[in-house]
Structure 1
Amino acid sequence: MSDEPGTPADDFPHGAGHPARGALRAAGYTRLAQLTTVTAAEVLALHGVGPKAIGVLREALAAEGLAFAGE
Structure 2
Amino acid sequence: MSNDLPAIGAPAKRALDEAGVRTLDDLRRVGPDALAGLHGVGPKALRLLREALEAPAGD
* CA shift digits 1:28-54 (9 cap, x unpaired): 111112111223321111111011100
**So what's the TM-score if we normalise by structure 2?**
0.75
Matching of residue 51 in structure 1 with residue 43 in structure 2: yes
RMSD across aligned C-alpha pairs, in angstroms?
A: 1.9
Provide the aligned length of Structure 1 versus Structure 2. 55
Cα distance in 1, alignment partners of residues 49 and 56 from structure 2: 11
Larger relative contact order, structure 1 or 2 (CA cutoff 8 Å, min sep 6): 2
Identity %: 48
The runs of 5 or more residues in structure 2 that have no matched partner are: none
Give 1 or 2 for the bigger CA radius of gyration.
1
Cα distance in 2, alignment partners of residues 53 and 62 from structure 1: 14
Report what 1:33 is aligned to.
Answer: 25
**So what's the TM-score if we normalise by structure 1?**
0.65
